Structure 1
Amino acid sequence: MTIQTQIPSCTWNRPIGLGWDKPYTVRYASNVDDGPWHGMPLGGFGAGCIGRSSRGDFNFWHIDGGEHVFKNVPACQFSVFESGNNATQAYALCTQPPADGSLKSWQWYQNISIDNSQNIGTYHALYPRSWFVYENVLQTQLTCEQFSPIWANNYQETSYPVAVFLWKAHNPTHAPITISIMLTWENMTGWFTNALKSPEVKFRDDGSPVYEYRPYWGESAGNYNWLAEDNQYVGCVLGQVSRGETVEEGDGSWCIATLKDPRVEIFHHSRFNAVGNGEDVWQSFSQDGSLPNYQDESPADENTRLGAAVAVRFTLQPGETLEVPFVLSWDFPVTEFAQGVKYYRRYTDFFGCNGENAWQIATHALKEYQNWRSHIQSWQAPILNREDLPDWFKMALFNELYDLTSGGTLWSAATEIDPVGQFAVLECLDYRWYESLDVRLYGSFALLMLFPELEKAVIRAFARAIPENDDRTRIIGYYLVINAESPMAFRKVAGATPHDLGAPNEHVWQQTNYTAYQDCNQWKDLGCDFVLQVYRDFLLTGGDDVEFLADCWDGIVLTLDYLKKFDLDGDSIPENSGAPDQTFDDWRLNGVSAYCGGLWLAALESAIAICDILQDIRDTQTQKSIYQSWLQQGKPIYQEKLWNGKYYRLDSESGSDVVMADQLCGQFYARLLGLPDIVPSDRALLALNTIYDACFLKFYDGQFGAANGVLPDGSPENPKATHPLEVWTGINFGLAAFLTQMDMKQEAMQLTQAVVEQIYNNGLQFRTPEAITPAGTFRASVYLRAMAIWAIYLVISSATK
């Protein structure tokens, strides 16, 4: 008999501890490359999160909002003891012993006692759940299911800083087996805040602004642990001696806890040396699965690092099964951006702001975890049960949501003006600023479909920012890269739609346009992206939230007027300037471009539709007339200047013959929103077939996905070009959504599968990059745009209704 773990068939899975022969590596040495050992993140949106890889180590620490730490903490670990059939063994359940020489007395879960051809278990992930299934080492059939309470349209539990570890043990033998499971955790309170309160901003070799993040890693003076217990639960709280009357970033507590059960014995050790040899917990645990029930609340000195341990021991009779829950919670209520700019996290609306509630969060999780898991299953079931969707697509659809947890996510406490708080996800780990509007044109479909109120909160933040002016000047990083003198550019021009909502070292939501790679005030797509997302969010969330449209109306008028100023020849389509002035910000476009021009026309159609909806509460008819005249003049110009009989030319002035993969993004959006076509349908279909053939099939035989821009025969126009010859994951998923929309679902799935396999077969799981190349390199990991895979699902679902 095998244990029934109820693991869906469509998980991403990998043998525990199995490495990668040749994982993708970074294209630019300065980019973040943590290596392939990434697992599904745990933790609620904006609460901080952790990650545990398929070798069993906890190594991903996004506890400080917007800041990234990737480092194994050996004392944060599960271990198992087993005794039965005259054999005893104990393992820390990670296949990689500590590199620093700590915990030498522990036996690590390596493939040492069985034939090398056998797996020692399998890791599975289907966000927000993951599983470790241990095989061929223990006599017990043992599985650990991990999850946090995340499901669609849930604006409370989804914010909680908690992870549930549900252990299921089954005895398949004919004799009793005693099992003990131990969770150890290091007290990392106080570590996760920047020791540099005003870090200097510099330009990296790729022209991106960066600053140093220096956490108080390993500095544990004043930390102490204590036993917490009531009539139902027992655990250890890992906190610190209070450092002042107010709670600062980094202040708070951790908790590890479990459920009392008459069938189990619970042991504890509240203070062991987390970087010693580990004998203080391992000696007793490896002997009989116990701990000495040692309690010591002495604070650590400056040379001490503390761990705490909780173990649960039980005996299984032949054929018996038992489930044992453990919970890890944390309570770090403050996120600080620039020094003195502080926000409380969303979960504090439900647990308070004093940083002392890790125990309350943990015990609440132990009470509710079965309900939480049921909610997750009910949310996922309609998709998992669809027979028309292949398993690899279901796998990627859910797993790409990881970014909502681990993308440096912010979710602030509620206010009167923001009743569900403010929300933001980083563009990526290398471009560390929030909610880049051009990227989220595709990347926000997941948030829109699953958490629409958070999506609207982001768009409202952009609407508030459009009228603002920031006349500080700065150099532009692009010119440093091409070794040219940089002009001085204003940070943010009133009326321009900002590129992003700011960065973790300033004041997110208030100080926008953090990126300085290009002068985003000159971009020709951002204003269009804003208008399209406003109307999309209104229409696809029921079409009845007129207040949302009204909140965004002034921003729509301002940004379209601002963009029209770039129409230098009066043909009612703004021209690209020759500098990279749109989302492909290394790619020069000249004159009317297929990409930006199409977005402009679709944005005008959206604005006209919004005028009709708001006409009873706003004076919109003047604007409607203006937008109609621009649209009437611009549509034929777009055809005249760009259509070449097979596809739309890159632009009207460069003379390029490149086939651009995303040339008809505007047409995709127009059709998605039920607006009139931007281009004739037959031309759109012919262009799509040309794109599919040139950019996908003829680009390395379709192995990698569609390149951004190649010649019709699939060859590069310029072999040294950057963006045109990259495969952008999110653009590919957006293109696949367009293919699906145009009744080319088979082609869409072939394209999507190629990209998904590159990501999930080559060590890029849970850090999906913006770009991959046929050379096996990537750029910009943990990228927002890849959640565009939900656009494919939206179009499929719309077609089947």
Structure 2
Amino acid sequence: MVEYNSTDNVKAGLPLGGIGAGKVEINNKGKMVNLTIFNNWNKPLQIVRGFHVFIIPEDMEGFFVETQPSVLHMQDRGCELHYYGSYPFLRLVPYNRPQIEVTAFTALIPGKIEDSSLPAFGIRVRTNERKVVKVAISLPNLIGTSIRGRFNKEVDGGVMFLTENTSSIDPSYGDMTLITDKPLKIIPQNSINVDVNTTIKGGHSKIDFEDGNIWRRIERGDEIESIKGSARGMWDDFGGIVVADLKEGEAKFVVSWYFNNPWIYYPYRHFYATRFRNSLDVGEYFLKNFDEFYDNSKQFCKGDDSLPEWLIDSMCNSAYILSSSTWLDDKGRFSIFESPENFPVLGTIGGLTYEAGSLPVLLDFPELEKAFLTVLANAIDDSGYVPHDLGLFSLDAPLDGTTSPPRWKDLNPSFILLVYRYYKLTNDREFLEKIYPTLKAVLLWEVSRDRDGDGLPELEGTGDTSFDVTYIEGTDSYTSTLFLASLYAYREILNILKIEPSDYVDKLIERAEKSLSTMYNGKYFLAWKGLPDVGDALFLGQIIGLWWSITTGLPIFPEREKVISILNNICKVNGAASHICTPNLVSSDGKVISLSPQTEGSWPRLVMSLAPLAIEYEMDCLLEAVQKEWNTIVKDGMVWNQPSRINARTGVPDIYLDHYIGSPALWSVALFMKLNGNVKSTRNT
């Protein structure tokens, strides 16, 4: 479990919300931030006024479970917090206050996609102190782009947030609900704002403070009359408050939402809309199954005694992109943003993007992996070329690549391996048979990229792989090892289906192995043969083929002694080149090579992919490199918004690509262990 306190600089809170439903974050200061529930993945609502958790003891002043509440004359009623995160759970524990725990969680239940895609999260408030008797939670009305027409109404157990306006084009048209299992008092509609007179006399704007009178009246137990009518002006920021009984030591709340209008940035409808009519339906369903969801979501990321605790923490939390970055439409089509805010294309493959990002999906919701592969297969053109992604804010407008033309050389092998991996885990022969003609075209396209007949595809010096800002012309060890692994996978598929003999592929493998052997310099594979000349620099990308082989049970190339030599040199060269991270390209004397931002920094997802290799080959130094990368991510508050790359010299992350799709790369450990059974203990690291 990752631990912060409320003074730490945490870039993003742990996200809450089911697969494809958008997300809400509650950060380490107890604030609700960065909402994308309105189909606004690229432009989150950064801060929510009017969200509070207020604890009411019997013999002392009430307090907010947050730091520095902006509630007029109650700014001193906040508290410092411990913040614990283990996705999909977060826990807030106040310092120096009556013993209270506020736990928020997303329902993520392996094998149950219907319950794991709910637009909702649960909040459990617990105390073992008898003198803590009540808890109140408030939410603002955020429905509709315009304030005008917003209103709240009381429902069984809570408040529903609505608008009188109707729209088929407003992405924030819909509704939200806040309900509890033990309601003592429901205040459907109150004003969040301090009155205009007081505000402008004090030289303030309405966003500086919220009204504190309502909280003092709740604290005293006063009767409170709800405001009537709908919002008419811009000072009509309405909230709703639900007070629950804590005398038995626990209260449960659910926050749910329902926003199902297609628009330019989400031109579809939601999977959750196939089961529910509105947020009240969702909230009541979640509350009815609260305990079951809570307990079963603990199974989403199970620890393993053979693994060190930090590795389990990293693995569990790296799956955060399921809440922050996924789409699941009403047709059951699934995908993941490469970077929802700054590069919002869906389903990017190559360079351990979707291949790493979908690992928890593959393991816990394989039907979604099948759905994605089906959509991607349908996007492959007649030549057999696999696109870079499914489209910008789209599942239907595939793009060839960020630098295309020319077309990239690592996408087709990645697709073949994704299909094989899916089969390896599911034994879905019917799917394999159906997709085989496409796979054949994909392979033949890639083989045609071998211009000189040496058995390996050549790069054209135009950023034509996932290392797309790095000039490489010739044959590189990243693409070559990936291609060889895809040939192994294709041969396995032929043997499974028995559709045609494997002689042709056997010859391709023989030629590829022979040529790749010439790139081995006695210690590791050369970065590339061609331009620019980087001498004997060690390229971390060369592990990609080995990673695929280890995690899916394919043949391993080269032989074991050479693999161990490669990995040992990665520890000595790349692993020792920076105290911050493990950079992608390092000279044999330990100098980081600044050929491009991609070579002078690390790809955290690529470094994390060393973990199953460390376990297979019992190499503690590789796990130390993984732990170093993880420690940098934790220290810099990036656990739930991991970057695409980290600069090896400055430690400054490449925030350009936020919430990066490859974050869950460490789940390859879980895949490796599932397919290989128990492994030796690595707890000595």
So what's the TM-score if we normalise by structure 2?
0.90
Judging changes above 3 Å, is the alpha-carbon distance between structure 1 residues 313 and 285 closer, same or farther for their aligned structure 2 residues?
A: farther
Report what 1:645 is aligned to.
Answer: 522
Please, which of 713, 731, 736 is the counterpart of residue 606 of structure 2? 731
Report what 2:272 is aligned to.
Answer: 347
Judging changes above 3 Å, is the alpha-carbon distance between structure 1 residues 179 and 290 closer, same or farther for their aligned structure 2 residues?
A: farther
The answer to whether the 8 Å contact 1:183/1:310 transfers is yes
Is 1:792 aligned to 2:672, yes or no?
no
Please, which of 413, 422, 426 is the counterpart of residue 528 of structure 1? 413
Q: Which amino acid aligns with 2:150?
A: N
Is 1:434 aligned to 2:319, yes or no?
no
Is 1:303 aligned to 2:234, yes or no?
yes
Please, which of 15, 30, 33 is the counterpart of residue 59 of structure 1? 33
Compute the displacement of 1:661 (Å). 1.1
Please, which of 388, 405, 410 is the counterpart of residue 323 of structure 2? 405
Write the mapping of 1:655-734 to structure 2, written as runs, cut at 5 A.
655-656=533-534, 657-696=536-575, 698-700=576-578, 703-718=579-594, 721-734=596-609
Please, which of 83, 87, 102 is the counterpart of residue 127 of structure 1? 87
Report what 1:546 is aligned to.
Answer: 429
Write the mapping of 1:291-370 to structure 2, written as runs, cut at 5 A.
292-296=224-228, 298-312=229-243, 314=245, 316=247, 321-337=248-264, 342-352=267-277, 357-370=278-291
Provide the C-alpha distance between the structure 2 equivalents of 1:450 and 1:521, rounded to a whole number of angstroms: 36
Judging changes above 3 Å, is the alpha-carbon distance between structure 1 residues 401 and 289 closer, same or farther for their aligned structure 2 residues?
A: farther
Q: Which amino acid aligns with 2:515?
A: I
Provide the C-alpha distance between the structure 1 equivalents of 2:262 and 2:310, rounded to a whole number of angstroms: 37
Judging changes above 3 Å, is the alpha-carbon distance between structure 1 residues 653 and 45 closer, same or farther for their aligned structure 2 residues?
A: same
Q: Write out per-residue CA displacement over residues 246-303 of structure 1, whole angstroms, 9 at most, x where no aligned residue.
A: 5853221011111236xxx22314132455754375354364155614152x221242
Is 1:465 aligned to 2:379, yes or no?
yes
Provide the C-alpha distance between the structure 2 equivalents of 1:459 and 1:329, rounded to a whole number of angstroms: 30
More off after superposition, 271-280 vs 590-599: 271-280
Compute the displacement of 1:97 (Å). 4.1
Q: Write out per-residue CA displacement over residues 102-155 of structure 1, whole angstroms, 9 at most, x where no aligned residue.
A: x434435445xxxxxxxx331111111111112313xx3211111121122221
Write the mapping of 1:442-481 to structure 2, written as runs, cut at 5 A.
442-467=356-381
Write the mapping of 1:106-185 to structure 2, written as runs, cut at 5 A.
106-107=74-75, 109-110=77-78, 120-137=80-97, 140-171=98-129, 177=131, 179-185=133-139
Is 1:267 aligned to 2:256, yes or no?
no
Report what 2:295 is aligned to.
Answer: 374
Compute the displacement of 1:325 (Å). 1.1
Matched residue SS, 2:47: coil
Q: Which amino acid aligns with 1:781?
A: D
Compute the displacement of 1:731 (Å). 0.3
Write the mapping of 1:77-96 to structure 2, written as runs, cut at 5 A.
77-84=52-59, 88-96=60-68
Q: Which amino acid aligns with 1:183?
A: I
Instruction: Using the aligned pairs only, state the percent identity.
Output: 22
Report what 2:171 is aligned to.
Answer: 249
Compute the displacement of 1:538 (Å). 0.5
Compute the displacement of 1:639 (Å). 0.9
Q: Which amino acid aligns with 2:497?
A: L
Q: Write out per-residue CA displacement over residues 666-716 of structure 1, whole angstroms, 9 at most, x where no aligned residue.
A: 1332343333333222212211111121000x212xx32321010112112
Q: Which amino acid aligns with 1:748?
A: L
Write the mapping of 1:568-583 to structure 2, written as runs, cut at 5 A.
568-583=451-466
Root mean square deviation of aligned Cα: 2.3
Judging changes above 3 Å, is the alpha-carbon distance between structure 1 residues 278 and 590 closer, same or farther for their aligned structure 2 residues?
A: closer
Please, which of 381, 388, 398 is the counterpart of residue 306 of structure 2? 388
Provide the C-alpha distance between the structure 1 equivalents of 2:527 and 2:461, rounded to a whole number of angstroms: 12
Judging changes above 3 Å, is the alpha-carbon distance between structure 1 residues 43 and 312 closer, same or farther for their aligned structure 2 residues?
A: same
Matched residue SS, 1:510: coil
Provide the C-alpha distance between the structure 2 equivalents of 1:183 and 1:583, rounded to a whole number of angstroms: 46
Q: Gaps spanning 5+ residues in structure 2: where?
A: 194-205, 680-685
Judging changes above 3 Å, is the alpha-carbon distance between structure 1 residues 168 and 520 closer, same or farther for their aligned structure 2 residues?
A: farther
Is 1:495 aligned to 2:346, yes or no?
no
Q: Which amino acid aligns with 1:49?
A: K
Compute the displacement of 1:593 (Å). 1.3
Judging changes above 3 Å, is the alpha-carbon distance between structure 1 residues 358 and 258 closer, same or farther for their aligned structure 2 residues?
A: same
The answer to whether the 8 Å contact 1:226/1:295 transfers is no
Q: Gaps spanning 5+ residues in structure 1: where?
A: 1-10, 21-35, 112-119, 192-218, 415-420, 469-493
Judging changes above 3 Å, is the alpha-carbon distance between structure 1 residues 224 and 749 closer, same or farther for their aligned structure 2 residues?
A: same
Matched residue SS, 1:347: helix
Judging changes above 3 Å, is the alpha-carbon distance between structure 1 residues 289 and 392 closer, same or farther for their aligned structure 2 residues?
A: farther
Q: Which amino acid aligns with 1:499?
A: H
Q: Which amino acid aligns with 1:777?
A: V
Provide the C-alpha distance between the structure 2 equivalents of 1:499 and 1:60, rounded to a whole number of angstroms: 28
Compute the displacement of 1:753 (Å). 1.2
More off after superposition, 281-290 vs 577-586: 281-290
Report what 2:399 is aligned to.
Answer: 513
Provide the C-alpha distance between the structure 2 equivalents of 1:378 and 1:69, rounded to a whole number of angstroms: 29
Report what 2:202 is aligned to.
Answer: none
Provide the C-alpha distance between the structure 1 equivalents of 2:272 and 2:523, rounded to a whole number of angstroms: 53
Write the mapping of 1:199-218 to structure 2, written as runs, cut at 5 A.
none
Compute the displacement of 1:79 (Å). 2.0
The answer to whether the 8 Å contact 1:121/1:136 transfers is no
Judging changes above 3 Å, is the alpha-carbon distance between structure 1 residues 336 and 395 closer, same or farther for their aligned structure 2 residues?
A: same
Q: Write out per-residue CA displacement over residues 214-272 of structure 1, whole angstroms, 9 at most, x where no aligned residue.
A: xxxxx31121111112xxxx21111111425x5853221011111236xxx22314132
Q: Write out per-residue CA displacement over residues 192-229 of structure 1, whole angstroms, 9 at most, x where no aligned residue.
A: xxxxxxxxxxxxxxxxxxxxxxxxxxx31121111112
Is 1:590 aligned to 2:473, yes or no?
yes
Report what 2:143 is aligned to.
Answer: 189
The answer to whether the 8 Å contact 2:387/2:400 transfers is no
